[in-house]
Amino acid sequence: MLMKVKLASLITLLFLVSPCRLFSESRQVQVITIDGVINPVVAEFIIKAIKSSVSENAECLIIQMDTPGGLDLSMRSIIKEMMNADIPVVVYVSPSGSRAASAGAIITLAAHLAAMAPGTNIGAAHPVALGGGKMEDEMAAKVENDAAAYVESIATKRNRNKEWAIKAVRESVSITEKEALKIKVIDLIASDLTDLLTQIDGHKVSTALGDKTLFTKNAATTRIEMGLREKILDTLSNPNIAYILMMAGLLGLYFELSNPGAIFPGIVGGISLILAFFAFQTLPVNYAGILLILLAVILFILEIKVTSFGMLSVGGIIALFLGSLMLFDSPAPFLRVSLDTIIPVVAVTSGLLILAISLAIKAQRRKPTTGKEGLLGEIGVAKSTIDPQGKVFIHGEYWDATSDEPIPEGTRVKAIEVNNIVIKVKKA
């Protein structure tokens, strides 16, 4: 009888454990990595990852992030999707040495759970002017107040330190992961992804579908990578790449217009300019910079038509350099073209344009080698006495010749005029 009871208890225990084991093995967590500027491409990628995690019924989506910040509109579209997500979204500032600055700090505050790795920092979320120029005092105050109210509402919603969040916007304060945990800006510090999954296991968070308890310990992790299209578009959004593409496009169109029918420079230039204009949508373009660069190209073209002894070319180089410096106007270094890119690009572009101009000027001034014009100034020999008519040998051919003075046979002569098939000559 005792054996039967033990056997029944064992069978019952197996039935209870097996579903839990199967459930444990079926759990999955999806992970994405954001390492760079928050731009429209990154926003699209994060939003797509959230929707993918929902469709795959994942326990949560972990955004492993290291960012200097980015565009306000892109940040807001990400946060809007996170705040209305059907599953928990965990932001993990990692690995050590990473940061969640500016837009990244606000995205971290908006997460259902916020975590940081040792040796990381968060903050400096003061809004900056994008699109060229500095904001007026009144406009700057409006933007700052709007950002402060926005981040306060997010911190309140997620039960995080709203006083610090406001200071991060108004005073650009930044803190370490230990300070962030101490003052309740984040929820935990995790040394790696495995430690993170262990620590968040059992946490209850509020999603768009209601409260959800996380079961992430020993859960399988699936990494979602950017597709080829997204990687290309994200690369194009780099201001240095966008600048190089614009210069390549202008060079290509210049060579196509100066040598109609070459085709290849025109195709390359057109594609480069279109890609550059796409990148400009995500960057703080200063139109004064673009106008200076266009002025530089015009000055280089005028050098062919106007004798300026190189002054137009010098002006073109100066305009090109200043336009390059002004092209993207932002206090954020990651939204500007670096001098390491500007100097060699300006040097190469100016060199190619000056080379093309010098070749064009030489072609214009080159003495004709065919037709009537090709005979003028040529040196030949009188093959008979010219008085006033005779024969000469010029340019590899015999010609009828005339002269205003008698020229003995064998004398070196120079062609000074061509009338039909008769050459007028004089003694060389």
Q: What is the structure's pLDDT at 381?
A: 85
Please report whether residue 21 resides in a domain.
no
Of 170-179, 241-250, 328-337, 390-399, the poorest mean pLDDT is in 328-337
Do 338 and 379 lie in one domain? The reply is no
89 lies in the same domain as 32: yes
Which of 154-158, 300-304, 404-408 is the most confident on average?
154-158
Quote the tokens at residue 95: 């690995």
Q: Which residue has the higher pLDDT, 275 or 33?
A: 33
The answer to whether position 20 is within a domain reads: no
Q: Which residue did the predictor score with more confidence, 355 or 43?
A: 43
Residues 178-196 have a mean pLDDT of: 96
Q: Does some domain include residue 31?
A: yes
Residues 414, 354, single domain; the answer is no
**Of the candidate ranges 6-10, 89-93, 184-188, 230-234, the one whose mean pLDDT is the lowest:** 6-10
98 plus 132 within the same structural domain: yes
Strands (E), 142-189: 174-176, 188-189
Of 123-127, 144-148, 340-344, 356-360, least confident by mean pLDDT is 356-360
Q: Which of the listed residues 229, 255, 288 is the one where a domain comes to its end?
A: 229
Weakest mean pLDDT among 8-12, 247-251, 307-311, 418-422: 8-12
Total tally of structural domains belonging to the chain: 3
Statement to judge: residues 51 and 199 lie in one domain: yes
What is the CATH number for 50? 3.90.226.10
CA distance 424 to 405: 11
The domain boundary, picked from 211, 229, 247, lies at: 229
Length of the chain measured in residues? 428
The larger pLDDT score, comparing residue 63 to residue 255, is at 63
Q: What is the pLDDT of residue 353?
A: 74
What is the C-alpha radius of gyration for the chain, rounded to an integer number of angstroms? 37
Q: Distance between CA atoms of 42 and 126, rounded to whole angstroms?
A: 21
Q: Which amino acid is at 108?
A: T
Which of 167-171, 198-202, 248-252, 259-263 comes out lowest in average pLDDT? 259-263
Of the chain, the percentage scoring pLDDT greater than 70 comes to: 85
| Residue in the structure block whose two tokens are 């209850």 | 204
Dihedral sign for Cα 341, 347, 350, 355, please. Answer: negative
Backbone angles phi and psi of 407, in degrees to 5: -125, 115
233 or 190, which is more confident: 190
Task: Output the pLDDT for position 331.
Answer: 61
Q: Do 217 and 144 fall within a single domain? A: yes
Task: Please give the distance of CA 408 from its chain centroid, rounded to a whole number.
Answer: 76
Work out the percent of the chain whose per-residue pLDDT is above 90. 38
DSSP symbol at 332: S
Same domain, 414 and 385: yes
Point out the least confidently predicted range of 22-31, 45-54, 104-113: 22-31
Mean pLDDT within 112-130: 87
Same domain, 325 and 275: yes
Instruction: Single out the residue in 229, 250, 275 at which a domain terminates.
Output: 229
Same domain, 225 and 286: no
Could you tell me the pLDDT band of residue 392, with boundaries at 50, 70 and 90? confident
Tell whether 61 and 154 lie within a shared domain: yes
Question: Domain limits at 333?
Answer: 238-365
Could you report how far apart the first and last alpha carbons of the chain are, in Å?
A: 138
Any domain includes 16: no
158, two tokens: 């997620």
Asked if residue 179 has pLDDT above 90, the reply is yes
Establish if 329 belongs to a structural domain: yes
295-347 pLDDT per residue, tens:
888 887 777 677 666 788 788 888 888 888 888 766 666 667 888 888 888 88
Whether residue 53 is predicted with pLDDT greater than 70 in this model: the reply is yes
Please state the rounded mean pLDDT for residues 10-14: 47
> Average per-residue pLDDT in the chain?
83
The answer to whether residue 2 sits within a structural domain is: no
- The reply to whether 61 and 181 lie within a common domain is yes
